[in-house]
Amino acid sequence: MNCNEARQHWNLYHDSEGDVELHFRIEEHLANCPGCVEWFHKQSRLEDLLVQKLAAHTPEPELWNRVLVASGLVKPASTRRWILFSGMAACAAAVVLLLLWNGRPSSAVTANDIVELTSNWHERLATGKEPLQFRSQSDLEVEDYLRHQVSFPVRCPPRKDAGFAVQGAGVCRLADQPAAYLAGHVDMTPVSIFVMRRESLAAFPHQRAAMHGKIQRSRAGSLESVLGVIDRNAVLVVGRTDPDKLDRVLRAYGTYPHHL
Ligand SMILES: [Zn+2]
């Protein structure tokens, strides 16, 4: 099952309808796809919010359906059961919610965990389930590649003398925020570095609050991570290794002199 198929069947999955085999295949996809896990989570949260907001208004399924189709949430001719509870006021509420949902995450509608999201990405990169978008062992080539891929400033990978040997890089989204990743090794252990705009930390309110402007260490299972703000970036380094080593990599981020 691919992402499209999994997402198409979201409503059956969410409502515990559909056959066992379908549920099993969706579960199986989710076990290997942090992107869909995040997407499913958001869908559920959005639906919960909508259901809360919708009192019994005059049914206007046609209009409501058009709003949903336009938002890309449902396919045309969908008959989601909560469409029946909709009305003009509900549409207005939904549009506001959709804007919130599609735009800048607010602390009211999100409770994202940057450690969890990056840990999932790291595992996929480290196991090869997620192929590196760009493969190179050259710091400068990797830096140059990322500069053309993301709209925010990204500095070069940590120098090799900080222990990080880069293998490649790519882009991803973390809680709907654009991010870049650098994949490599510290000693022989896979380590990934995730870079975002520092402003993107707003999508992770509880982590931002816990940081107090300092480097924050976390652990998810056997994965260690360190998160800090460096210049205009929020940077998270994750791997199954001594957090002191990750800390060293984090502090070395962007210290490579520019010779271009
Ligand atoms: Zn997927």
Residue 10's CB is within 10 A of a number of other CB atoms, namely 18
For the stretch 48-58, pLDDT in tens is 777 777 655 55
Tell me which DSSP letter residue 138 carries: -
Report H helices in the chain. 3-8, 10-14, 20-31, 34-53, 61-71, 88-102, 114-126, 139-149, 205-211, 243-252
List domains and CATH numbers for the chain: 3-102 (no CATH), 114-252 (3.30.200.100)
Compute the distance between CA of residue 252 and CA of residue 53 in angstroms, rounded to an integer: 48
Instruction: Tell how far the Cα of 121 is from the centroid of ligand 1, in angstroms.
Output: 12
Q: What is the mean pLDDT of residues 62-87?
A: 60
Measured in Å, residue 138 CA sits from the centre of ligand 1 at 31
pLDDT tens for each residue of 167-212: 999 999 999 899 999 999 999 899 999 999 989 998 888 888 888 7
Give me the pLDDT at residue 76, please: 56
Residue 223 has which token pair? 């994965």
Q: How far is the CA of 6 from the centre of ligand 1 (A)?
A: 7
Residue 216, phi then psi, degrees to nearest 5: -110, 130
Chain segment 101-154, per-residue pLDDT in tens: 554 444 344 468 899 999 999 999 999 999 999 999 998 899 899 989 988 888
Mean pLDDT of 230-251: 93
Q: Which of 125, 161, 123, 162 is nearest to 245 (CA)?
A: 162
Asked whether 193 and 253 are in contact (CB, 8 A), the reply is: yes
Contact indicator for 186, 226 with CB cutoff of 8 Å: no
Range with lowest mean pLDDT among 92-106, 186-200, 222-236, 244-258: 92-106
